[in-house]
Amino acid sequence: MRVVDSHTAGEPTRTIVDGGPDLGTGTLAERAARFEADHAWMRRALLTEPRGFDAMVGALLCAPDDRSCATGVVFFSTAGNLGMCGHGTIGVAATLAFLGRIAPGAHRIETPVGVVTVELKTASTAAVENVESYRLHAGVTVEAEGLGAVTGDVAWGGNWFFLCRDAPAPLETAHIPALTDAALKVRAALSGAGITGADGAEIDHIEFFGPPVSPAADSRNFTLCPGGAYDRSPCGTGTSAKLACLAADGALAPGAAWVQESIIGSTYRAHYRAGPGGGIVPTVEGQAYVVGETVLHFAPDDPYRTGIGPPFLVGDATGR
236 interacts with ligand PYC by CB under 6 A: yes
Task: Say if residues 83 and 237 touch (Cβ distance below 8 Å).
Answer: yes
Which residues are known catalytic residues?
85, 235
Identify the residue among 3, 4, 5, 11 touching ligand PYC (CB under 6 A).
Answer: 11
CB of 270 to ligand PYC, least distance (A): 12
285 interacts with ligand PYC by CB under 6 A: no
232 interacts with ligand PYC by CB under 6 A: no
Comparison of 262 and 306: residue with beta carbon closer to ligand PYC:
262
237 interacts with ligand PYC by CB under 6 A: yes
12 interacts with ligand PYC by CB under 6 A: no
Distance CA 277, CA 299 (A): 49
Q: How many residues lie near ligand PYC (CB under 6 A)?
A: 13
CB of 297 to ligand PYC, least distance (A): 27
281 interacts with ligand PYC by CB under 6 A: no
86 interacts with ligand PYC by CB under 6 A: yes
What angle is formed at CA 311 by the lines to CA 308 and CA 312, rounded to 5 degrees?
A: 50
Locate all alpha helices (DSSP H) within the chain, ordered by sequence.
28-38, 40-47, 86-98, 176-192, 236-248
E strand or H helix that includes residue 8: strand 2-8
Q: What is the DSSP string of 117-155?
A: EEEE-SSSEEEEE-S-BEEEEEEEEEEETTTEEEEEEEE
Task: Say if residues 292 and 34 touch (Cβ distance below 8 Å).
Answer: no
Q: Binding string to ligand PYC for residues 55 to 84, with x set by CB under 6 A, is what?
A: --x------------------------x--
231 interacts with ligand PYC by CB under 6 A: yes
CB proximity list for 205: less than 8 A, separation 6 or greater: 159, 160, 161, 162, 223, 224, 225, 226, 235, 237, 238
Q: Binding string to ligand PYC for residues 35 to 54, with x set by CB under 6 A, is what?
A: --------------------
Distance CA 169, CA 187 (A): 16
Q: Considering only residues 144 through 163, tell me which ones interact with ligand PYC, judged by CB under 6 A.
A: 159
The site for ligand PYC (CB under 6 A) is made up of: 11, 57, 82, 85-87, 159, 225, 231, 233, 235-237
